[in-house]
Copies of this chain bind each other. A is one copy, B any other.
Amino acid sequence: MMLSEMSRDELLKFKADVQKDYDEFKAKGLTLNMARGKPSSEQLDLAMKMLAAVNSFDADYKASDGTDCRNYGGLDGIVDAKNLFAPMLGVSNDELIVCGNSSLNIMYDMIARCIIFGVDGVQKPWKDCEKVKWLCPCPGYDRHFAICESFGFELIPIPMHDDGPDMDMIEKLVAEDDAIKGIWCVPMYANPTGITYSDEVVRRFANLKPKAKDFRIFWDNAYCIHHLTDTPDKLLNLLDECKKVGSEDMVYMFASTSKITFAGGGIAVMAASEKNVKYIKSLMTVQTIGYDKINQLRHAKFFGSYEGLTEHMKKHRDIIAPRFKVVLDTLDKEIAPLGIATWTKPNGGYFISFDAMEGCAKRIVSLCKEAGVVLTGAGATFPYGKDPKDSNIRIAPTFPPVDELKLAAKLFTDAVKLASAEKLLGELN
C-alpha cells in the first residue's frame, strides 16, 4: 500500500512497527559504512600481484624505451603507461599526461594554474577576474564542489536529467555570462546518479559557445571502464567531437586507476588538446621533475595492455555487482511498494542516487547514523552542501562485505520508512 494513501491510524501503526525493527537494529550496536566510494578489500586483493611486477633486478625497472624508472625525468609519464591509458580515454599519447596517485589532485592543480596563470597564458588569470562562477550539475560529486568552494567561486547548480545535465540551461548561461569559467562533468556512470551522458549531450558540450574564451569543461571520466553489466553504457568521445568543430581546447579530461588497482596508490591521468598539453607541461616542469615512474611501470607491466585492463575490470564487476544487487533488491522489496522514494539503477560506477520525499534526507541520514550506519551527509551532493529539497542521498555499496551490506541496506529502508511516516504525520520540522 502506498504510504500516501494510508489513514492517520494506519500510518501510526506502520510507524510503530518500523520503529520496533529500527530499535532492534540500533540495539545491535553496528558500525557500518555506506558513505564513500571506496573499493572493498576483495577488489584491492585483485591487484596484489601488481606489487610484484617491479620488485627485483629480474623484473626490469626500465621502461620499454630504456628509461630508468628509478631516476629523475619523464615529466609527462613513461611510454608504457601512455600506451596503457591513452586508449582508455581515446586520445593519442601526445594528448595525455600520466601523473601521480590522485586525479582529484590534478584537477585541483589544473584550477590552481588557471587562477594563477590563466588557462593558456593568453587569457587573464582567474585571480584577476572580479568573479569566477562554476556550473555544477547536481546531484554531483562533493569533492568537486569543495574545490570550487575553497577557491571562492560562485557555484551554480544545474539540474541532472537521465541523459546528462540540463543543456538548455548550460548553453544559455555560458553564452550570457563571461564570469562562468567552468563546469564539472562525470560523464559516464555519473557520481552519484549513475547515468551516462547521451551522444546528443556530448555533442552539445562540444558545440558550446561560451562568452568566456577561457571557459573549460572538466570532464572527470572516473568510471569510464567501471561497468556493472553485459550491456555497458557507451560514451561519445568529447575530445573527438570538439575537434570536429574546432573547440578541442575547451576540454580537460581526467581519469585514474584508484578504483582499478589501489585507491590512493594508483595512477591518475589527464588528457587535453596538444596545445593545452604543451602549455600545461610548460607550467608542470616548474612544479615537479616528474611523477612516480616506478608505479607507472608497475601498472603497465601488470596489465600488459589496455585489453588487459578491461579484462581486469570484469573481476571488479564480479565483486561489486552483487553488492549493488543487495541494495537495489532491498529497496525494491521494502520501499518500492510504499511509493515514498525513487532511485537509480546504474549500469556502472560506484553509486546509487536515492531521492526521498522532500525534507526527509537529513532525517534519514541522522536515523541511520544513530543506529550505526554512516551515509554520505545529506546535501553533500549539492553545491555548498545544500540540497534545496533535502531529498537526495548518495548510497555507496562497494566497500562493506555483502552480509554487512544486507544489514545496512535494511536499516536504511527502516530509516526511510520512519522519516517518510514522520513527514506524512506532520512531525518533521
Count of A residues near B, CB < 8 Å?
56
CB of A197 closer than 8 Å to a CB of B: no
By a CB distance below 8 angstroms, the chain B residues around A41 are: 68, 71
Q: Are B265 and A295 in contact (CB under 8 A)?
A: yes
**Residues of chain A at the chain B interface (Cβ within 8 Å):** 36, 38-39, 41, 44-45, 47-49, 51-52, 54-57, 61, 68-74, 100-102, 104-105, 108-109, 112, 115-117, 127, 143, 146-147, 150-151, 258, 262-265, 283, 286-295
CA distance A186 to B201 in the complex (A): 53
CA distance A108 to B285 in the complex (A): 11
CA distance A187 to B233 in the complex (A): 56
By a CB distance below 8 angstroms, the chain B residues around A109 are: 109, 287
Q: Are A289 and B265 in contact (CB under 8 A)?
A: no
CA distance A101 to B147 in the complex (A): 23
Q: Knowing A57-B48, A293-B265 touch, does A288 contact B116 (C-beta < 8 A)?
A: no
In the assembled complex, the CB of A376 is this many whole angstroms from the nearest CB of chain B, namely: 14
Q: Are B116 and A36 in contact (CB under 8 A)?
A: no
Q: Are B116 and A292 in contact (CB under 8 A)?
A: no
Q: Are B289 and A72 in contact (CB under 8 A)?
A: no
Q: Are A289 and B70 in contact (CB under 8 A)?
A: no
By a CB distance below 8 angstroms, the chain B residues around A291 are: 101-102, 264
A49's closest neighbor in chain B, by CB?
A: B56
CA distance A356 to B40 in the complex (A): 61
Q: Which of these, B51, B71, B105, contacts A54 with CB under 8 Å? A: B51
In the assembled complex, the CB of A183 is this many whole angstroms from the nearest CB of chain B, namely: 19
Q: Are A55 and B44 in contact (CB under 8 A)?
A: no
Q: Which of these, B101, B116, B286, B287, contacts A116 with CB under 8 Å? A: B116
Q: Are B286 and A150 in contact (CB under 8 A)?
A: yes
